[in-house]
């Protein structure tokens, strides 16, 4: 079994070496497409054994990722594995990933991205990172890419990738958000009925600090996915949480509560909505007892999920147990007064 790691880069010298070292035991070949680096990115990639191909940036991450696939195909691998320069494999997971890849029933695999932050918080989401070298495999989407693969079974795994890309310098993050938001807004306008694009556009605007621009996109995604709640539950849950977070930032607390409760009606132990709803209720006189109930459930789920990442599920509010304890203490003091 032969595995080709594919990666696209531009000015990634700070973290690239760490990413490539982490995948050393996984990849037989490394293909890097550089879209215009002016730092030591190309030098570092070559030092770690990568074949580097330079392509001009064409305002689309998918174009660059597909170029990496085309170069990798010349090496005739069995699998493509996609890693970004600001990520790192959990090396202890690699033997199990390779074992899963040997099972011929799977055409692709979703891994868990563990977004880590300096304050200890985490966010988990999943996407396809391993796909067989088959005809028709390609990315679409200018900014938030979607990997299309031939019909077949896709496995949700608990294999993890550590992602540092949301916790870099404020200047770098703002530059990254501005670039991506412009591309995603184009996609959202072009594909108004694609819930995935609408959701990620809302998420990007929220991260940029302009939640009011994200609100209509989040609501559009809910309308589309809400047409088949059972089928789309794993997509709908993080979208409902995002919408509640947007309304919280807009000081529309009743709307935020409504979307939290809608999420909890789908899954009563959904950690993100337990935390936000508990936080909302803790600030409301007379709701202390209910707030404590939700926050205690959140603390239990937070501890469980950080030790046991759940294949297929996305979470944005892990690591807030200390804040939840503080809110419980405040509620208990008010009830005792």
Could you give the 3-state DSSP secondary structure of residue 140?
strand
Q: Lowest mean pLDDT: which of 173-177, 192-196, 202-206, 311-315?
A: 173-177
Summarised one tens digit per residue, pLDDT across range 34-90 is 999 999 999 999 999 999 999 999 999 999 999 999 999 999 999 999 999 999 999
Residues 6+ apart with CB under 8 A from 223: none
> Per-residue confidence at 311, pLDDT binned at 50, 70, 90?
confident
User: What percent of the chain is modeled with pLDDT above 70?
Assistant: 99
> Per-residue confidence at 296, pLDDT binned at 50, 70, 90?
very high
Query: How many whole angstroms separate alpha carbon 28 and alpha carbon 26?
Result: 7
3-state helix, strand, coil in the chain (%, to 5): 50, 20, 30
For residue 128, what pLDDT is reported? Answer: 95
For residue 121, what pLDDT is reported? Answer: 83
Evaluated on CA atoms 164, 167, 170, 173, the torsion sign reads positive
When mean pLDDT is compared over 133-142, 175-184, 246-255, the highest value belongs to 246-255
For residue 330, what pLDDT is reported? Answer: 97
For residue 303, what pLDDT is reported? Answer: 95
Q: Which two tokens stand for residue 302?
A: 């937070």
| Mean local confidence (pLDDT), 291-307 | 96
The CA-to-CA distance between both ends of the chain, in Å, stands at: 67
CB-neighbour burial class of residue 24 (10 A; exposed 0-12, middle 13-18, buried 19+): middle
* Residue 228 and residue 202 in contact, taking contact as beta carbons nearer than 8 Å: no
> Per-residue confidence at 122, pLDDT binned at 50, 70, 90?
confident
* Residue 16 and residue 44 in contact, taking contact as beta carbons nearer than 8 Å: yes
Asked if the model's pLDDT at residue 150 lies above 90, the reply is no
Q: Give the Cβ contact number of residue 38 at 10 Å.
A: 9
Asked if the model's pLDDT at residue 145 lies above 80, the reply is yes
| Mean local confidence (pLDDT), 196-209 | 92
Evaluated on CA atoms 93, 94, 96, 97, the torsion sign reads positive
Q: Give all domains of the chain, ordered by start, each with its CATH number.
A: 3-163 (3.90.550.10), 170-336 (1.25.40.10)
For residue 165, what pLDDT is reported? Answer: 77
Query: Is residue 172 within a helix (H) or strand (E), and if so which, with residue range?
Result: helix 170-190
More confident residue, 178 or 101: 101
Distance of CA 156 to the CA centre of its chain: 14
Q: Give the Cβ contact number of residue 210 at 10 Å.
A: 14
For the chain, what is the mean pLDDT? 94
The residue assigned the tokens 């709803």 is 277
For residue 166, what pLDDT is reported? Answer: 72
DSSP calls for 12-73: -TTTHHHHHHHTTTT-SEEEEEES---SSHHHHHHHTT-EEEE----S-HHHHHHHHHHHHH
For residue 147, what pLDDT is reported? Answer: 92
For residue 174, what pLDDT is reported? Answer: 73
Q: Lowest mean pLDDT: which of 73-77, 81-85, 168-172, 204-208?
A: 168-172
* Residue 291 and residue 327 in contact, taking contact as beta carbons nearer than 8 Å: yes
Q: How far, in Å, are 228, 274, 286, 296, 317 from residue 290 at the CA level? A: 30, 11, 9, 10, 19
């Amino acid at each position: 079994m032969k595995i080709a790691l594919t990666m696209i880069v531009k000015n990634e010298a700070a973290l690239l070496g760490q990413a490539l070292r982490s995948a050393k035991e996984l990849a037989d070949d490394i293909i890097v497409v550089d879209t215009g680096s002016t730092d030591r990115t190309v030098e570092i990639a070559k030092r770690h054994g990568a074949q580097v191909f330079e392509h001009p940036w064409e305002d689309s991450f998918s174009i660059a990722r597909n170029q990496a696939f085309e170069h990798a195909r010349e090496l005739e691998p069995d699998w493509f594995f996609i890693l970004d320069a600001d990520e790192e494999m959990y090396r202890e997971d690699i033997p199990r990933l390779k074992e899963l890849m040997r099972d011929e029933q799977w055409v692709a695999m979703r891994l868990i991205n563990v977004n880590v932050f300096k304050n200890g918080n985490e966010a988990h989401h999943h996407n396809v990172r391993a796909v067989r070298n088959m005809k028709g495999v390609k990315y679409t989407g200018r900014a938030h890419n979607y990997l299309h693969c031939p019909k077949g079974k896709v496995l949700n795994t608990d294999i993890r990738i550590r992602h540092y890309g949301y916790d870099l310098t404020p200047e770098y993050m703002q530059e990254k958000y501005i670039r991506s938001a412009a591309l995603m807004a184009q996609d959202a306008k072009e594909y108004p009925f694609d819930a995935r694009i609408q959701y990620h556009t809302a998420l990007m605007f929220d991260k940029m600090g302009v939640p009011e621009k994200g609100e209509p996109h989040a609501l559009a995604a809910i309308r589309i996915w809400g047409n088949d709640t059972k089928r789309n539950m794993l997509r709908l849950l993080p979208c409902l949480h995002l919408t509640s977070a947007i309304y919280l930032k807009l000081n529309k607390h009743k709307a935020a509560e409504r979307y939290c409760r809608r999420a909890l009606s789908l899954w009563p132990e959904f950690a993100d909505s337990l935390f936000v709803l508990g936080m909302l209720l803790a600030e409301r006189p007379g709701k202390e007892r209910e707030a404590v109930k939700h926050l205690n459930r959140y603390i239990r789920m937070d501890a469980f999920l950080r030790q046991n990442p759940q294949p297929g599920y996305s979470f944005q509010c892990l690591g807030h147990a200390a804040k939840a304890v503080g809110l419980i203490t405040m509620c208990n003091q008010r009830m005792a007064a």
